Structure formats: C-alpha cells, structure tokens
Structure 1
C-alpha cells in the first residue's frame, strides 16, 4: 500500500465541493445529487456517448448506398460491423487501463478525438479495403468512450441513484442515433447516393467541439481519484484476472457478449431489413426508425430507474426476456402489415435499450477504484467483440434466409446474458471506494 497520505477533509471538500445537495429525491434528484462538478461531468459523458452513437450509425444507415457503390454482398457489409466491434474491444480495454493510470477525463478526450478523426477519414475512402481499415480504427475510440464516461459519472453519483444516473447517460445513445437518422434523411434526400454516404461520414467531425468543453470544464471525481493514487494496484489486465476478480471478469464478459450480440444484430440490420424486405423509401425508413429510437430513449431512462428499484440483475433478466420476445414478434409480422411493424418498433427499442441501463452502474460496482476502468473497459468491450460475431452471422444467413429471418439469431444473445447473471453478485446500494 502506498505511503502517500490521504488528502485532508478540507482538501476533499474543496475539490469535490460540499455543494452536493442532500436532497436526492424527486424526478431530478439524481441530477441535483451530482453537484456542480458532477453535472459538468455528466454533460461531458452524455455528449461524448451521443456523438459516439452518431458516428457509429453513419455506417449502418449508409449501408445500402455503400453496398451499391462498392458492389458488396451481405457478408462483406456485415464485416464492417464486425471489424468495428472487434477493434473496439481493443480500444475499450486499453482506454480502461489508460483511465486508471492518467485519469478519466484525459482518457475521455483521447477516445472522442480518435473516433471523430477516423469517422471523417471513412468519407475519403477510395475502395472497400480502405474503408474497412478506417472503420476499424474508428472502433478504437468508439470502444473506449462509453466505459470511460460511465466510470467518470458513476464515481460522482450516489449509491441510491447510480442506476438512473447511468441510465440517463445511456439514453444519449438514442439521442445520437436519432440525430444520425435526421441527418441521414436530409443528406440522402438532397444528394445522390454516391456522394451522400461520404457526406455522412464527414459530419462525424462534430465531436471536436465536445473536446473543447471537456478540457475546460470537466474533472475527475476527487474521492475516487485520491483512492486510485493511494493504491499500489494500478490499472492492468493481470489485476482483473487475479483470483479475487477472476470469476467476476469471466461472467461479466459473458453477460456483455449476450446483451451486445443481440443489440448490435438489430442496430446493424434493421435499416437494411426495412429497405430490402419491406421495400420502404428513405423517408419511410426514417419514420419507422423514429418510433424505434423513441422507444430506446424511454427504455434507457426507465431501465435506469428500475435498476435502482429492482436491482441490477433483475432489471437485466426482465428485459432480456422481453427483448427476445420482441425480436420474435418483430421479424414474424406478415407481409403487408407495415402498420403493425410500426407499432412494434416502439417496444422493441424500449426493451433492447432498457437492458443496457444497468450496465454502467453494475460493472462500475463490480471492481475497486484502482482497476475500475480496466475491469469495465475490458469486460464490456470484450463482450462487444465476441458479440460482433452475431451481425456477421446474420449477414451471411441473410443471403439464404432473408434479413428478417436471420435477425431471429439475435435472440440467442439475450438467453446467454441470463445465464451469465448466475455467476455475478447483486451490487445495488454498493458504495464506490
């Protein structure tokens, strides 16, 4: 144990602020309880994850245009997603270690800059192979942003409200997704497809503005930072595989694999399904996705509330079952029943997003401060990489089964997540030390 003396109570009060209100009840009590510094951290993490989502969806939304431009089959287009998610595992795991070593805020800025630069680079790609490389490099930043931002906010949040606070952070994914759909609809309405997909990637430069805000206004939670400094166990991959954390790490990876395998299958292929199997126009696809995204936004917020009320494990179990049921219903609607397809989009988006709301708090609470970034970054993003097999599998199956039929494969991931919970403890109410 380090001999560095802990900071005094006065020092901590000065850094963290005794401005954290004692009243954390009410609809926005969780936000008040963060205090001024915590709310600035929340804004930085919320914006970072929203723009992370925006940059991610520039590809799935442009998939049909890209396929036509480069003459790709379903397997090749599915490989874009797989490469992004596999490389994101590396980026996320490394970002977690970096966050434990140099701090959450510095790591957050690095990840945002990385995904922004390579999203823009995708717009300059002259061929399929180059685009695949740029998309893979974009995954480095994409993989790290969520884990780092979630930990930054989790360390400011109270135990009572951590679930809904992190659920609100997760809801920014739907905000970024919605923004991407709006920009996509406008760009593809007024530009030829051969140039529109490039413009979509160029708009990925937006996160540069966020970095300026984070650099000037956001700081690590001082109590957690002090705890990291006192510990001799700095972030490292070997630390999370030591006997006391090995079981947690393995089951957390399995949990992440299941949930993300199901999610990314849907996020990647639903736009293509609406176009190819349902024959919807660009505007029609945007309309259908509006309900899906609205459901996702409310799902994140509701799931965050329930993860505090029911517990982390019960919330995930509940929405794993509901998500699987929605997939089965969504992909078995009879031809011509597009009105029913529209109605089911809302509960599908709601359920597959609510399951994620507990992840930020759950994974943060499973690891001590000194290796929290490493643990969360590794487990979440390794699960993302293994789960990336799902969209590619759907891509290859789509050639023979059709996209709608192949999507049912995503339901398997949710069953896997429920099994993984058997090996993890309930952490509701746990303080972050």
Structure 2
C-alpha cells in the first residue's frame, strides 16, 4: 500500500512539473517562446478592441448592433485568416506563416487607430482579423509538432496562457491611456500601441526552425513518393478534411470550436462595457475588476493543459464547458449593489471560460493526420471563431431590449461543446508520424 501511494505521488509530481519544458529540447524551446509571444501579443491586440468599444461607440455615435459588429468583423475574417494560415503552414512552413500573421494583426491594429469613420474601422479590423486567425493556426501547430506526446497538453496549455499576460498588458494600457486622455483620442492611441509587437518578428526569424515532422512530410510530398501518393499527401490539404474519412471529425470539432468561442466572446467582448454601463465602474474600476478575471484566466489556461494530459481531452473540455455556462449565468445575475460578488465569481469565470481553450492546440493537432494537420487545425478553430463571432453581434442587438445581461446567451455555446464531445474520440498521448 505504501509503495502504491509513493508511486501515485511520484506520478502526480511528474504530471504537475516543468518536465514539459525540458522535453522540448534546444529546437523546441525557441518555437515555444515564438508561439507564446505571438499569442500574448495577439491577445493584447484583440483585447484593446473590447476595452475601446465604449470610446469608439461615442466617437462615431454607434448603436449596440453597430458596436457589436466591429468585434464580429474581426472574428469572422479571422476564420479566413486561419484557413489561409493553415494552408500556408502546410505549403511554405509554420515559421514563415507565423511571421506573416504577426505582421497582419499588428498592422491592422495600428491602422484601426487612424480610422476616419466607422466603415474604415471595419475594414482595418478585418485586416487585423486575418492575422489574428492566422497566428493561432501557425503557432499552435508549430509547438504541437515539437512537443512530447505525453507532455503535449500542458505545453499547449502554457502557450494558451500567454493570452492572459497579453490581456493584462491591454488593461494596463487602457487604464493609463483612458485616465490621461479624452476617450475620443484615447481609443486611437490604444490602437497605435498595437504596432509595437511587430518587433517580435525579428526573434521568430532568427531563432525558430521548422518541426522535423513537417520537413519530412514536405520532402515526401515534393518527391511524390509512392507512399505519399497512396496516403493522399499530394492532394490539397483543405480538400482532405472534407473527404469521407475526415469530414465527421471536421464537423464535430468545428461545433466544439463554435461553442467554446461563442461562449468566450459573448463574455469578454462585452465585459468591459458591462462593468462600465451596468455596474457603473470607471476606467480604473473596470481595470481592477478585470484583473481578477485575468488572474483566473491564466490559472485556467495552465491547469487545463495539465488536466488534458492527466484525465484526457474529452473529460477536461466537458468539465470546463459545463462550469463556464453555470458561472456565466451566475455572473450576469448578480444583483445591483453586490459588486463584491463580481470579484468572487470573476476569478472562476475567467478560469473556466478561458481555460477551455488550452486543449484546442493539442486536440485538433491529434485529430488530423500530418498531411492535412495545418488545414484541419486552421479551418476548424477559425471556422468556430467565425460562427462564434456572431454571438457579440446578437448580444449587442439584444442588449437594446434586455440590457447587457444578454451576455448570458453564451451559455448556449457551452451546451454545443458538450454535444460535440459526444461525437469525438479521445486522443491523449497520440504520436505524430510524417505521413499518415
């Protein structure tokens, strides 16, 4: 019995350790930091939009529906960016695709600050969306192919956690800029700051190499070897994910992505506006309350990655989806005068609603074969983002009638996650091979 307990304790100690980082090796660690940094800056660039929405709406005299459309445009176009990035990642490489994505989202964010009118802002947010969708597709793919299969969940969990410091940076910038400048100028300055992450491209180009499994697959495809032809590696990757052998996984995984992202964007696109308008908080107060949500998000990302390796992909997704729905409904039903409860529920809300993302990088990579992994991962995640991106628009329209408590609509998305998981297999520990 004692020996059994010691073995179990050793196993748990190994599970919740930093062995995942050591296992990446000399080639994998720069790839990890490239993906981590790219996603953190992606989070910064996206979150400054949600923080600036009130200022934008006031400047251009927008309705709730028009305001929600700004976020929806970014998210819908990001689907195209993700699909294109997936195809490019399979053709020109993960690293070069990551560089292009970072350049697009930084440029689109900066140009958004120069918008002379609402229509121009929508166009520039669409450009930002191309890079926003492409970064995740390329970055998650880059790291997932270099990670040890037994450690893949926690590696991608730590990558996903980069969204939290990026979000925190956005909140700090928002608090400072909106405290010092009038809001019709402040939101523009906030977007201009978004060009700074473009400097990170230099690190990616100098330090990061392509995964070996990708290089072998590309060589086989270029040589048009018999094995590659028989496995379908010479056919279009985007076509392959809709063939009979993969279309079921593509459809179910897309529903999972729609649900998780629809729920998330319902909450976090409108949360700053909810805190300001429904709860009466100023910029400093909003930043303070968001801090608890961000802390919860970081913990949720990291712990979710460990849970994916410990109990499996499907169980972890289900746990996070159910509790996200419960907490979302509870958060939007907090009575007036009980703002202290926003802090109490804010941390677990951030923990579960954000943490559900940590499994996507590993799970989607494991669901699709090497010959179509970029296309599959890029399409599914970003198609989910595009459809889920309509949730903020619908909430903006509903808010005119029922107020921003309409955010609770996001619970429908989490219900869709549970349905999708019933149709998907467990893939924990799957090893990648160059051609399959």
Q: Quickly name the TM-score band, shorter chain normalised.
A: over 0.9
Contact 2:143–2:156, Cα closer than 8 Å, also in 1: yes
Match of 1:216 among 198, 206, 209: 206
Match of 1:285 in 2: 286
TM-score between the two structures when normalised by the length of structure 2: 0.92
Contact 1:174–1:293, Cα closer than 8 Å, also in 2: yes
Instruction: Report the secondary structure of 2:392's partner residue.
Output: helix
The more displaced of 236-245 and 370-379 is: 236-245
Match of 2:308 in 1: 307
Match of 1:7 in 2: none
Instruction: Supply the distance in 1 between the matched residues of 2:108 and 2:321 (Cα, whole angstroms).
Output: 33
Instruction: Report the secondary structure of 2:270's partner residue.
Output: helix
Instruction: Report the secondary structure of 1:244's partner residue.
Output: coil
Instruction: Supply the distance in 1 between the matched residues of 2:15 and 2:407 (Cα, whole angstroms).
Output: 41
Instruction: Supply the distance in 1 between the matched residues of 2:115 and 2:149 (Cα, whole angstroms).
Output: 46
Is 1:153 the counterpart of 2:143 in the alignment? yes
Shift of 1:76: 0.4
Instruction: Supply the distance in 2 between the matched residues of 1:24 and 1:225 (Cα, whole angstroms).
Output: 31
Shift of 1:224: 3.2
Match of 2:6 in 1: none
TM superposition outliers: structure 1 runs of 4+ over 4 Å: 23-26
Instruction: Report the secondary structure of 1:424's partner residue.
Output: coil
Question: What per-residue deviation string (whole Å, max 9, x for no partner) do you get for residues 4-30 of structure 1?
Answer: xxxxxxxxxxxxxxxxxxx98662100
Instruction: Supply the distance in 2 between the matched residues of 1:81 and 1:225 (Cα, whole angstroms).
Output: 37
Instruction: Supply the distance in 2 between the matched residues of 1:194 and 1:84 (Cα, whole angstroms).
Output: 21
Contact 2:78–2:131, Cα closer than 8 Å, also in 1: yes
Match of 1:417 in 2: 417
Equivalent positions of 1:94-173 (< 5 A) are 94-173=84-163
Contact 1:257–1:384, Cα closer than 8 Å, also in 2: yes
Q: Let me know the Cα RMSD of the aligned residues.
A: 1.2
Question: What per-residue deviation string (whole Å, max 9, x for no partner) do you get for residues 200-233 of structure 1?
Answer: 0001112211100000000111233213331442
Question: What per-residue deviation string (whole Å, max 9, x for no partner) do you get for residues 239-293 of structure 1?
Answer: 1111111111111111100110000111101100000000001000000000000
Shift of 1:236: 2.9
Match of 1:318 in 2: 319
Match of 1:294 in 2: 295
Contact 2:76–2:386, Cα closer than 8 Å, also in 1: yes
Shift of 1:389: 1.4
Equivalent positions of 1:258-277 (< 5 A) are 258-277=259-278
Shift of 1:331: 0.6
Shift of 1:80: 0.5
Contact 1:24–1:30, Cα closer than 8 Å, also in 2: no
Instruction: Supply the distance in 2 between the matched residues of 1:121 and 1:249 (Cα, whole angstroms).
Output: 35
Contact 2:41–2:166, Cα closer than 8 Å, also in 1: yes
Contact 1:177–1:293, Cα closer than 8 Å, also in 2: yes
Is 1:335 the counterpart of 2:325 in the alignment? no
Instruction: Supply the distance in 1 between the matched residues of 2:15 and 2:123 (Cα, whole angstroms).
Output: 48
Contact 2:15–2:306, Cα closer than 8 Å, also in 1: no
Is 1:43 the counterpart of 2:25 in the alignment? no
Instruction: Supply the distance in 2 between the matched residues of 1:223 and 1:163 (Cα, whole angstroms).
Output: 18
Shift of 1:316: 0.3
Match of 1:252 in 2: 253
Match of 1:206 in 2: 196
Equivalent positions of 1:17-32 (< 5 A) are 27-32=17-22
Instruction: Report the secondary structure of 2:238's partner residue.
Output: coil
Shift of 1:355: 1.1
Contact 2:99–2:205, Cα closer than 8 Å, also in 1: yes
TM-score between the two structures when normalised by the length of structure 1: 0.93
